[in-house]
Amino acid sequence: MGGVVVSNATLHNEDEIARKDVRIGDLVRIQRAGDVIPQVIEVVDDGERAGRPAFAFPHACPRCKSSAVREPGEAARRCTGGLVCPAQRIERLRRFVSRAALDIDGMGEKQVEEFVGLEWVATPADLFRLAAHREALLQRKGWKQKSVDNLLAAIEARRSVPFDRFLYALGIRHVGEVTARDLARRYGDFDAFRTAMQAAQDPASAELAELQAIDGIGPKVAAALVAFFGEPNDVKIVDDLLGELDVAPLVWEVKASAIAGKTLVFTGTLEQMSRDEAKARAESLGAKVSGSISAKTDLVVAGPGAGSKLKKAQELGVAVIDEAGWLALLGKGRACPVSV
């Protein structure tokens, strides 16, 4: 097609397969969407498809046989087995040791698969108990005394981990690096965060409302966090980890400024910086950033296209500045390291 050999073409997701009624063995017409991406656009009736059954998606994980569930609004089906599933176990452990998480030098995908296969590691906390297998590891192909000692030393060096890295390492759905950092900044230390998540199990709690009001969180992320800390097996994994390492409060540089301690809301389009950058700059000046307007909001930064949030701020009498005013604020302040 257009001088390119096409060997695979996407059907996007389950809904598209059902909508186009694509069945195994069908003849289909394809195109290169935007002259780039091959995609199936329709089925060509060859007169033989009447006897072909509609495609059936699996309802059980092929690895652990746990239920495979498609959540509302999601395109993919996901295994519900958690760490019971060998495939999920390896992926969650890989995330735990990754650079953005605990960053354990010498512990990569190959090592994780080896230790899981040997049944030395089943949960993240087991990584910190690998020293018990030191002699057995020395007998394995590819391992020498120096490489073993280096790995064990790298693991020991991670017995103290910053709150945001620890939260990201847990592998909670929808909680990436940025979200983990936002939550760490908001709650300060892991004990306070965990207490809030336990209280948020109550749908009518102030803690749940506060969680959902954090800029960038929203109902979906909040639901994932509440579900994680309400699942006994996940809580057990966290408790086991806390017996092996310390979670240090997040420390970052904050500047003394006129907006320190104030609650800000950004709305509309910012032209000089991204929303994430603006949020980070506000927090570096000691401000709290919220995603919704309330009587507790101190300042709204409104860019072009600001709508209902700007209107509500005006109704509540909240101070509003434009991006030029915001940039002027950023020129003030002195560095002041703060532990939270």
Kindly report the CATH class assigned to 252-339: alpha beta
83-157 CATH choice from 1.10.150.20, 2.160.20.60, 3.40.1190.20, 3.40.630.10: 1.10.150.20
What per-residue confidence (pLDDT) applies to 306?
86
Q: CB-hemisphere CA count at 13 Å for 338?
A: 17
What per-residue confidence (pLDDT) applies to 50?
81
Q: CA 82, CA 160: separation in Å to the nearest integer?
A: 25
What per-residue confidence (pLDDT) applies to 335?
38
By C-alpha distance, which of 99, 89, 165 is closest to 124?
A: 89
What per-residue confidence (pLDDT) applies to 331?
77
- Which token pair is 153? 């030393």
Residues 6+ apart with CB under 8 A from 16: none
312, containing H or E segment: helix 308-316
CB neighbourhood size of 153 (10 A): 11
Q: CA 57, CA 145: separation in Å to the nearest integer?
A: 48
What per-residue confidence (pLDDT) applies to 45?
85
In a 3-state reduction of DSSP, which class is residue 212?
helix
By C-alpha distance, which of 326, 306, 162, 122 is closest to 248?
A: 162
What per-residue confidence (pLDDT) applies to 180?
93
Mean pLDDT by 10 residues, the chain (340 residues): 86 87 92 87 86 88 91 84 85 93 93 95 96 96 96 97 95 90 91 96 94 86 93 92 95 73 89 81 83 89 88 92 88 43
What per-residue confidence (pLDDT) applies to 252?
63
- Which token pair is 253? 């540089």
Q: Topology of 1-56 in CATH?
A: OB fold (Dihydrolipoamide Acetyltransferase, E2P) (2.40.50)
pTM: 0.68
Establish whether domains 162-249 and 252-339 are of one fold.
Answer: no
Phi and psi of 247, rounded to 5°? -100, 110
Domain limits of the chain?
1-56, 83-157, 162-249, 252-339
What per-residue confidence (pLDDT) applies to 254?
63
By C-alpha distance, which of 90, 89, 66 is closest to 79?
A: 66
What per-residue confidence (pLDDT) applies to 105?
93
Name residue 78's beta-bridge partners: 69
Phi and psi of 75, rounded to 5°? -90, -30
What per-residue confidence (pLDDT) applies to 339?
35
Is the Cβ–Cβ distance between 67 and 98 less than 8 Å? no
Sign of the torsion formed by the C-alpha atoms of 218, 340, 235 and 77: positive
Q: Could you tell me which CATH number the domain at 162-249 has?
A: 1.10.150.20
